Chains A and B, each alone.
Chain A
Amino acid sequence: MDENKKQKIVFKDKDGNSFSIPPQGSLGLLALGDIGLTAWRQVREQSRAEKRQEIIDKKNKNKA
């Protein structure tokens, strides 16, 4: 898998503190509105893609 894709998306709050977005989402993210929703969906998609890739890698490993 591409190393870039494995990187976690990191957001910063208004004070500059970074926080990561859990793939399962949170009420706090929804309360952020469109930004929070879009970010959550991005992370969720990334996480799903990673999981899909892990399964494929595992299958390939088993085949090998």
Chain B
Amino acid sequence: MSGQKKKVVLIGWDAADWKIINPMLAQGLLPNLQQLIQDGTIGNLRTLDPPYSPMLWTSMATGKRPYKHGVLGFTEPTPDGKSVRPTMGTSRKVRAIWNMLTLEEKKCHVVGWWPSHPVDKINGVMVSDLYQKAKGSKFDEWIMPKGTVHPDEESEKFADLRVHHEELTGSILQPFLPNLNKIDKVKDKRYRSVAKVTADCSSLHAAFTNILRTREYDFAAIYLDAIDHYCHGFMRFHPPKRDHIPQEDFDNYYNVVTAGYRYHDMMLGRIMELAGKDATIMLVSDHGFQPDEMRPRDIPQEPAGPAYEHSPYGIIVVKGPGIKKNKFVFGASVIDVTPTLLTLMDMPVGDDMDGKVLLDIFEDEPEIKSIPSWEDVPGYCGKAGKDDDLSDEDAEKVMAQLEELGYIEKQTEDKEKRLKQTIDECDYNLARSYLDGGLINEAIPILEKLFSENPGTTRFAIKLAGCYQTLGQLKKARGIIDHLRNIESYTDVVLDVMDAVLMVSERRPLEAIKLFKEAEGKVNPHQSRIYMQIGMAYLQLSRWEDAERALQQELSLDFDNEHAHFILGKLMLQQHKFEESVACFMNSLNLDFNQPIVHSFLGQALYQLGKYEKAAEALELSVDLYPKNTSLYPILSDIYKRHLGDPERARYYDDKLQEIEVPLIYVVSGLPRSGTSMMMQMLDKGGLEPFTDKKREADENNPRGYYEHEAVKNLAKNSKFLVGAKGKVVKVIAQLLHHLPAKYRYKVVFMERDLDQVVSSQNKMITRLGTEKEKDENRKELKRTYEDQLERIQKWASTSKNVEIMYINHKEVVESPFEASMRVNEFFGYELLPELMAMQVDGSLHREKS
């Protein structure tokens, strides 16, 4: 590959999906794609959440997630914040690959990328995403907006290459609509959208082929959204026919999707021909589209509702010099496209990119060059600035045009309301993007604001409840579900499922299973993932066979559910079925490679099988993806030292641990009388050394001891004593947690207990000590104070980067000590002995029953 001029062609097919492509390939309907596949490497391309095209294609072109690149939806507030406009190329805050290529003086051409209007003035031709959108009913009335073509002087030539939908004849539309002559064109206008979509992609294809035919290039890219449009409009009529689809509609529109793919294959053939044999061709899609029984029958009435029809995996096919032939690449994601393209062109990858280089596509592993960030590289990159932006007036016109054409949803007349809706939608998408990137603490404040301002919007509420659930803040999550029950638009059965999901988190598996069983048959099993949840509930009950049956049922409905594969893998691991667990973890990773916890479990399973080299590889991948998980370093060191005979590599991990390790202190916390002493005792017996001065002796209130240290009481004024607590577990009451100094890392197990029980227990203790009598008014006041304090602690924990917290319920520990011990052991990195921990729980000491 080296020494050869590298030419790369990137082709984007919005929503292309293997589930449709594969049967068509088998029938020989896509010969050009077949050729590309035979000569190249293919794979699934994992989408991002939210799966909205302007955000995804910007991630594709930048290697960054939306919270970094700034494109947050289909529409956005204008820069002055007064009105709404379609998302523009200037909304992108970071450089795209064509800006990087321009900096390197490479010849690059880009056609139709979404969003790319107004065009960047790159080192080549750029045609914006407004180019193909026809206005008016005649070609002569179709004026191209300013900023559509770079260089501007080429505008006229490219304007002539546009195809107007009115030009398309019956002969051209016949392959899509075999019954075209029978369609009642007065009543049924759907055939027109086939013409419009076909004309749009033909315009872009004509511009792109002209560029490829007449110009030199290092990089050329085209984006076509037609497959997505064909699918949104006509996938419901795609065979097999479902009962609720009228026969006449089926007869008229059954072939639109198939013909759409075949047309794309024909265009692909022409591009391959023009690109030349020495070019590397990469074909990608940003997400898939449900083609089979997964097709939703109804689309939610909400902004971007049609995205519910998307599936989470797009496609990737790469073919060219130095690319493996007839191979499969695993774990690819939308954000990997730009880093991989840069490596293909011997250019450095930005350290600030979220994606990785898809090394598995290369015959010989390439050298990956890197720089801190492309944003800091000086020079001309061609990126359009504010001066190139559309005026507010023009933006309004474009907006109105796009609404009229149906490219974006018609907005409300009330301008203020429209602006507020747009701001909320962008914020919601930003929060979802943070969540997708694993930044839950960044997402929560945004969702809390959205929920407080829009308490009737169930989407916001559900997402926030999910965050609370993930963080173990189950009371808050339950509060939201209770709130939703008061909103008429939500059906009880959906809420029952949500409730049951929460019950699984609350470790109430029997109640959860009962609710799930009642909901079975009444909710869409794909969307609710009901069988996966049932499987998780059975797992909590240690009913392995039932759990496995439910998880297999989930996978028979949706084999692409990576979480179900993972949970099944954990189930196999628990039963010491190591081979099976490896297969499950691999299935999960094949669907989504970016799951550090799955790599970590895979490493454990491989270790058990004695496959130490592969175990080390899996654990190293886990560390690469989540460097904060330093608990794997000692394990890796051990594998290299004891099993692989590589002391140097072992030392590498030992040194790394020394270099980066901020001392870790384990903390048990909670309100007084919430079970903190019990947890300290469990951890002590489980193998974690307690940091205690043993001054406070066991008494009637805590017959097994308090496990306290006097110095902790003075934590607010002096924290020096914590140096002695490194690697040990220390008990810190909830009210003092925020005084823990930032120079250490903390893993906090926070004991939760019903506040009435806590207050009651405290009062009894005080009564026993003879200091004060139990009074009802004091109980209420104390309970309110505790509620406030708990909220502040949750906020502190979620905003402190050096703190990982796990909430665990006192009742759960008492009733299911082994499961609780397993959870704590998992949180602490599997260094404890859960069996011994569980043996320390004495139910008879649990005085305050609810």
Binding site for B on A (CB under 8 A): 14, 22, 24-28, 30-35, 37-38
Q: A27, B172: Cβ atoms under 8 Å?
A: yes
Do the beta carbons of B208 and A28 come within 8 Å of each other? Answer: no
- A30 B213 Cβ-Cβ under 8 A: no
State the Cβ distance, A41 to closest chain B Cβ, in Å.
Answer: 8
Q: 10 tightest A-B contacts by CB?
A: A33-B209, A31-B266, A34-B210, A24-B171, A24-B169, A30-B202, A34-B206, A37-B206, A31-B267, A34-B209
Q: How far is the CA of A22 from the CA of B213 in the complex (A)?
A: 24
* Complex contacts, A33 vs chain B, CB 8 Å: 205-206, 208-210, 213, 267, 270, 274
Whether A32 lies near B209 (C-beta < 8 A) is yes
The minimal Cβ–Cβ distance linking A63 to chain B, given in whole angstroms, is 32
Alpha-carbon distance between A25 and B173 when the two chains are bound, in angstroms? 10
- State whether A26 and B208 are in contact (beta carbons under 8 Å apart), knowing that A31-B270, A37-B163, A37-B202 are contacts in the complex: no
Q: Taking the complex as formed, is B468 at the interface, i.e. its CB lies under 8 A from any CB of chain A?
A: no
In the assembled complex, the Cα of A25 lies from the Cα of B353 at a distance in Å of 46
Contacts of B169 in A (CB 8 A): 24-25
With a cutoff of 8 Å between Cβ atoms, the chain A residues found around residue B167 in the complex are: 25
Q: How far is the CB of A20 from chain B (nearest CB, A)?
A: 14
Asked if A34 contacts B161 (CB within 8 A), the reply is: yes
B206 close to A22 (CB less than 8 A): no
B645 at the interface (CB under 8 A from A): no
- Chain B residue numbers with a CB within 8 Å of A28 are 266
B170 CB–A CB distance under 8 Å? yes
The A-contacting residues of B in range 203-222, CB under 8 angstroms, are 205-210, 213
Bound-state Cα–Cα, A33 to B269, Å = 11
Question: What CA separation (Å) do A27 and B613 show in the bound complex?
Answer: 54
Query: What is the minimal beta-carbon distance from B250 to any residue of chain A, in angstroms?
Result: 22
Q: List 8 A-B contacts (CB under 8 A).
A: A22-B171, A24-B172, A25-B167, A31-B269, A33-B205, A34-B209, A35-B209, A38-B161
Does B175 sit within 8 A of A, measured CB to CB?
yes
Q: Is B263 an interface residue (CB 8 A)?
A: yes
Nearest-neighbour CB distance to chain A for B472, whole angstroms, equals 56
CA distance A4 to B707 in the complex (A): 105
Give Cα distance in the complex from A14 to B272, angstroms.
14
Write out the residue numbers on chain B whose beta carbons fall within 8 Å of the beta carbon of A34. Answer: 161, 206-207, 209-210, 213
Known interface pairs A33-B270, A34-B161. Does A27 touch B205 (Cβ–Cβ under 8 Å)? no
Q: How far is the CB of A59 from chain B (nearest CB, A)?
A: 26
Q: In the complex, what's the smallest C-beta–C-beta distance from A14 to chain B, in angstroms?
A: 8
Report yes or no: B171 in contact with A32, Cβ–Cβ below 8 A.
no
Residues of A within 8 A of B206 (CB): 30, 33-34, 37
A27 to B255, CA, bound (A): 15
A45 to chain B minimum Cβ distance, whole angstroms, is: 12
Whole-angstrom CA separation of A26 from B167 in the bound complex: 11
Alpha-carbon separation in the docked complex, A27 to B174 (Å): 9
A18→B609 CA distance, assembly (Å): 65
Interface string of B744-757 (1 = CB under 8 A from A): 00000000000000
Q: Give residues in B with beta carbon < 8 Å to A.
A: 161, 163, 167-172, 175, 198, 202, 205-210, 213, 263, 266-267, 269-270, 273-274
Shortest beta-carbon distance, B264 to chain A, in Å? 9
- Chain A hits for B263, CB < 8 A: 27, 30-31
Tell me the minimal C-beta distance from B492 to chain A in angstroms.
50
Given A31-B205, A34-B207, A37-B163, check contact A26 B270 (CB 8 Å).
no
- In the docked arrangement, what's the CA distance between A33 and B204, Å? 9
Residue of B nearest to A33 (CB): B209
CA distance A24 to B167 in the complex (A): 10
Q: Which chain A residue has the least Cβ–Cβ distance from B209?
A: A33
B210 to A30, Cβ gap below 8 A? no
Contacting residues, chain A, for B172 (C-beta < 8 A):
24-27, 30
Contacts of B161 in A (CB 8 A): 34, 37-38
Residue of A nearest to B273 (CB): A14
Q: Give Cα distance in the complex from A42 to B259, angstroms.
A: 26
Contact partner, B171, options A26, A31, A35, Cβ 8 Å:
A26
Which of B163, B170, B263, B270 has the most CB atoms of chain A within a 10 A radius of its CB?
B270
Name the residue in B168, B172, B266 with the highest tally of chain A Cβ atoms < 10 Å from its Cβ.
B172
Once bound together, how far apart are the Cα atoms of A14 and B206, in whole Å? 19
Which residues of the other chain, B, contact A35 by a CB distance below 8 angstroms? Answer: 209, 213
CB distance from A18 to the nearest CB of B (A): 19
Q: Are B209 and A30 in contact (CB under 8 A)?
A: no
Q: How far is the CA of A14 from the CA of B274 in the complex (A)?
A: 12
A25 neighbours in B (Cβ, 8 Å): 167-169, 171-172
16 more A-B contacts (CB under 8 A) besides A31-B270, A35-B209? A14-B273, A24-B169, A24-B171, A24-B172, A25-B168, A25-B172, A26-B171, A30-B205, A30-B263, A31-B267, A32-B209, A33-B208, A33-B213, A34-B206, A34-B210, A34-B213
Instruction: Determine the residue in chain A with the shortest Cβ distance to B168.
Output: A25
- Name the residue of chain A whose CB is nearest to the CB of B32: A31
Q: How far is the CA of A14 from the CA of B269 in the complex (A)?
A: 13
A2 to chain B, nearest CB (A): 26
| B210 lies within 8 A of A24 (CB) | no
Give Cα distance in the complex from A26 to B270, angstroms.
15
CA distance A27 to B169 in the complex (A): 10
Which chain A residue shows the least CB distance to B208? A33
CB nearest to B211 among chain A residues: A34
> Shortest CB–CB separation between residue A17 and chain B, in angstroms?
16
How many Å from the CB of A11 to the closest CB on chain B? 14
Chain A residues with Cβ under 8 A from B210's Cβ?
A: 33-34
